[in-house]
Structure 1
Amino acid sequence: MHRINLIELPMAFTDFGLSERLLKAVDALQFTQPTEVQLQAIPAALAGDDLCVTAQTGSGKTAAFLLPLLQRLQAEDKPQAATRALILLPTRELAQQTLREFSRFARFTFLKAELVTGGEGFKEQAAYLRKNPEVVIGTPGRLLEHLEAGSLLLDDVEVLVLDEADRMLDMGFAEDVLKLVAPCNKERQTLLFSATVGGAAMGRVIDQVLREPKFLRLHSVRELNPEVVQQIITSDDVAHKERQLQWLLAHEQFTKAMVFTNTRAQADRLGGVLRACKHKVYVLHGEKQHDERKEIMARFKRGEFSVLVATDVAARGLDVAELELVINFDMAHSGDEYVHRIGRTGRAGAGGLVISLICPNDWNLMSSIERYLKLRFEKRQIKELAGSYQGPKKLKASGKAVGKKKKKDKDGKKDSGKSASKTGKKPAAKRPAKPRGNDVPATVGSADGFAPPRRKPKPQE
Structure 2
Amino acid sequence: IAFQEQKNDTDSKYSFPKNDYSFGNDDFEPIDWAAANRNAEESRKARWANAPKLTKDFYREESEVANMTMKDVNELRLSNNNITVSRLITSKDEKFDDIPNPVWKFEQCFKDYPDLLEEINKQNFTEPSPIQKQAWPILLKGEDLIGIAQTGTGKTLAFLLPALIHTDGQPKPRNGPNILVLAPTRELALQIEKEVNKYSFRGMKAVCIYGGGSRRDQINDFQKGAECIICTPGRLNDLVQAKVIDVTTITYLILDEADRMLDLGFEPQIRKILLDIRPDRQTVMTSATWPAGVRRLAESYMKDPIQVYVGSLDLTATHTVKQVIEFVEEDQKFNVVLRFLKRLMGSDKVIIFCGKRTRADDLSSELCLEGLSTQCIHGSRDQADREQAIADISSGDIQVLVATDVASRGLDIDDITHVINFDFPRNIEEYVHRVGRTGRAGRSGTSISYITRSDWGIAKDLIRILEEAGQEVPEELHRMSNRFDEMKERRGTDFKRGGRFNRRY
Contact 2:415 2:440 in 1 (8 A): no
The 2-side partners of 1:357 and 1:308 are apart by 17
CA displacement, residues 342-391 of structure 1 (integer Å, 9 cap, x when unaligned) = 1100112321111111121123323333346764853579xxxxxx9996
With over 3 angstroms needed to count, the CA separation of the structure-2 counterparts of 1:248 and 1:24, relative to structure 1, is same
Deviation at 1:275, TM superposition (A): 2.3
Aligned-pair CA distance for 1:270: 1.5
Q: Which residue of 1 aligns with 2:435?
A: 342
Q: Normalized against structure 1, the TM-score is what? A: 0.78
- Aligned residues: percent identity? 34
Could you tell me how far 1:185 is from its partner in structure 2?
A: 1.4
Specify the alignment match of 2:259 in structure 1: 166
Residue 182 of structure 2: aligned partner: 88
SS of residue paired to 1:52 = strand
Q: 1:27 is matched by which residue type in structure 2?
A: N
In structure 1, what is the equivalent of residue 126 of structure 2? Answer: 32
Unpaired segments ≥5 residues, structure 2: 1-72, 77-100, 484-505
2:401 corresponds to: 308
Q: Does 1:118 align with 2:207?
A: no
Asked if the contact 1:221/1:336 (under 8 Å) is kept, the reply is no
1:98 aligns with 2:192: yes
Q: What is the letter of the counterpart of residue 401 of structure 2?
A: L
Deviation of 1:97 after TM superposition, in Å, equals 1.0
Structure 1 position 319 matched with structure 2 position 412:
yes
- What is the DSSP-based 3-state SS (H/G/I as helix, E as strand, rest coil) of the residue aligned with 1:317? coil
Alignment partner of 1:361 is 2:454:
yes
Is contact 1:360-1:389 (8 Å) kept? no
Tell me what 1:215 maps to: 307
Paired AA for residue 246 in structure 1: L
Aligned partner of 1:64 in structure 2 is 158
Aligned residue for 1:319, secondary structure, equals coil
Q: CA deviation at 1:393?
A: 10
| Distance (Å, rounded) in 2 between the aligned partners of 1:94 and 1:79 | 30
The Cα of 1:108 is off from its aligned counterpart by: 3.9
Matches within 5 A, 1:28-427: 28-76=122-170, 78-105=172-199, 107-199=200-292, 201-219=293-311, 220=313, 222-235=315-328, 237-251=329-343, 253=345, 255-371=348-464, 375=468, 378=472, 392=480
Task: Provide the C-alpha distance between the structure 1 equivalents of 2:318 and 2:387, rounded to a whole number of angstroms.
Answer: 28
Partner SS state of residue 248, structure 2: coil
SS in 2 for 1:378: coil
Deviation at 1:124, TM superposition (A): 3.4
Contact 1:21 / 1:108 at 8 angstroms: preserved in 2?
yes
Judge conservation of contact 1:6–1:40 (CA < 8 Å) in 2: no
Q: 1:19-43 CA deviation, whole Å, 9 max, x = no partner?
A: 1111010011112211001111111
Hey, what's the Cα distance between the residues in 1 that align with 2:256 and 2:458? 28
* 2:420 partner SS: strand
Q: Please give the secondary structure, in 2, of the residue aligned with 1:299.
A: helix
Q: SS state of the match for residue 349, structure 1?
A: coil
CA-to-partner distance for each residue in 1:32-77, whole Å, 9 max, x for gaps? 2110011111111111110011111100111000010011112345
Q: Aligned with 2:175: secondary structure?
A: coil
2:229 counterpart SS class? strand
> If you compute each CA radius of gyration, which structure gives the higher value, 1 or 2?
1
Check the 8 A contact 1:323/1:352 in 2, yes or no: yes
What's the offset of the Cα at 1:130? 3.4
CA contact (8 A) 1:89 1:138 kept: yes
Please identify, of 343-352 and 294-303, the stretch whose mean Cα deviation from structure 2 is larger: 343-352
- Of 81-90 and 5-14, more deviation after overlay is shown by 5-14
Matched residues in 2 for 1:283 and 1:80: separation?
42
Distance 2:481 2:217 in 1: 61
CA distance in 2, matches of 1:32, 1:390: 42
- In structure 2, relative to structure 1, the CA distance for the partners of 1:168 and 1:392 (3 Å cut) is closer
CA distance in 2 between counterparts of 1:377 and 1:340 reads 17
* Cα deviation 1:155-180 (Å, max 9, x = unaligned): 22110000011111110000101111
Counterpart of 1:100, as a letter, is K
Supply the distance in 1 between the matched residues of 2:480 and 2:427 (Cα, whole angstroms): 20
Whether contact under 8 Å (1:232, 1:377) holds in the other structure is no
